[in-house]
Amino acid sequence: MIDERLTIAGHEFKSRLWVGTGKYKDFVETQKAIEVSGADVVTVAVRRVNITDRTQENLLDYLDPKKYTILPNTAGCYTVDDAVRYARLARAAGVSDLVKLEVIGDERTLFPDTAGLIEAAKILVKEGFIVLPYTNDDPIVAQRLVDVGCPAVMPLAAPIGSGLGIRNPYNLKIIMETVNVPVIVDAGVGTASDAALAMEYGADAVLMNTAIAGANDPIAMAEAMKYAVDAGRLAYKAGRIPRKLYATASSPIEGML
């Protein structure tokens, strides 16, 4: 099936699976998993350069900028000021104007501080950033983020790294139906079926990190996720049959003895 490409603010993406680069054993494994996943968007975090140990390798040396769109995040930021500061630093480092905006509200759940998120998004959009906000599965907040100029929204399936899968499919569906921008389900995926389900519901893409990096065999899981996202997308485009309580025979009655 020929599918249209996912396009966000003029950026065109081949893959509907986006992946993070954290928690892998080493950069070789990171590189291999990303390659196998077929993802062309990879998220990275912004941190201090290690000044004391310059023998450490650089992640970006393992990610060909011609092959991948690098999506810096503001992970670990708990205030509007911090998130804005990290986003500006990411842009100044020179990879792109894209930012996966996170304003975290609480350490235990890592749920977004949605009030702070909207405020930070507003500031960054005005500064010309392409803001992709990591948000809660709240349709009203998603719409507010669109209203302030986010060209896509990234609602969570479940808490970051929890592997719980989609906890509130109905809210996600409402978001997909109500916002007129791409919806990328971000965080909480545990295994391939979770990713497939998100795509079947109509997500435009799925972003994950731990589900792949934390699997016993990350490379195999990366491949599983690729198929899951493709299968889910195909099923969504194909249109599933309605659920019915009783049977409908698939074989005709005519011609029976």
**Within 221-250, which residues bind other proteins (CB under 8 A)?**
none
Q: Which two tokens stand for residue 214?
A: 């934390």
The whole-angstrom separation of Cα 104 and Cα 112 is 4
Interface region with other proteins, contact rule CB under 8 A, candidates 72-80, 221-229, 230-238, 247-255? 72-80
Interface region with other proteins, contact rule CB under 8 A, candidates 1-9, 197-205, 207-215, 242-250? 207-215
Chain length of the chain: 257
**Minimum distance, C-beta of residue 201 to other proteins, in the bound complex (Å):** 18
Residue choice 209, 215, 232, 236 for contact with other proteins (CB under 8 A)? 209
The whole-angstrom separation of Cα 94 and Cα 72 is 10
Say if CB 21 and CB 59 are below 8 A apart.
Answer: yes
Indicate the residue among 56 and 250 with the shorter CB distance to other proteins: 56
The whole-angstrom separation of Cα 93 and Cα 111 is 27
Q: Which two tokens stand for residue 70?
A: 């690098």
Interface region with other proteins, contact rule CB under 8 A, candidates 84-92, 114-122, 197-205, 237-245? 84-92
Q: Which two tokens stand for residue 169?
A: 């499919």
Q: Is 15 in the site for other proteins (CB under 8 A)?
A: no
**Is 100 an active-site residue?**
yes
Residue choice 4, 48, 248, 250 for contact with other proteins (CB under 8 A)? 48
**Minimum distance, C-beta of residue 242 to other proteins, in the bound complex (Å):** 33
The whole-angstrom separation of Cα 86 and Cα 43 is 14
The whole-angstrom separation of Cα 212 and Cα 191 is 8
Interface region with other proteins, contact rule CB under 8 A, candidates 2-10, 193-201, 205-213, 243-251? 205-213
**Minimum distance, C-beta of residue 177 to other proteins, in the bound complex (Å):** 24
Indicate the residue among 29 and 223 with the shorter CB distance to other proteins: 29
DSSP 8-class letter at 97: S
Q: Strand 6-8 to strand 11-13: parallel, antiparallel, or no bridges (unpaired)?
A: antiparallel
Say if CB 166 and CB 198 are below 8 A apart.
Answer: yes
**Minimum distance, C-beta of residue 23 to other proteins, in the bound complex (Å):** 7
Closest CA to 212 of 200, 228, 199: 228
**Minimum distance, C-beta of residue 255 to other proteins, in the bound complex (Å):** 55
Indicate the residue among 46 and 141 with the shorter CB distance to other proteins: 46
The whole-angstrom separation of Cα 156 and Cα 175 is 11
Q: Is 215 in the site for other proteins (CB under 8 A)?
A: no
The whole-angstrom separation of Cα 235 and Cα 197 is 9
DSSP 8-class letter at 217: S
Residue choice 112, 161, 165, 190 for contact with other proteins (CB under 8 A)? 161
Active site residues: 100
Where does this chain bind other proteins (CB under 8 A)?
Answer: 19-24, 27, 30, 43-49, 51, 54, 58-60, 70, 72-73, 75-77, 85, 88-95, 102, 104, 107-108, 110, 134, 160-162, 186-187, 207-210, 213
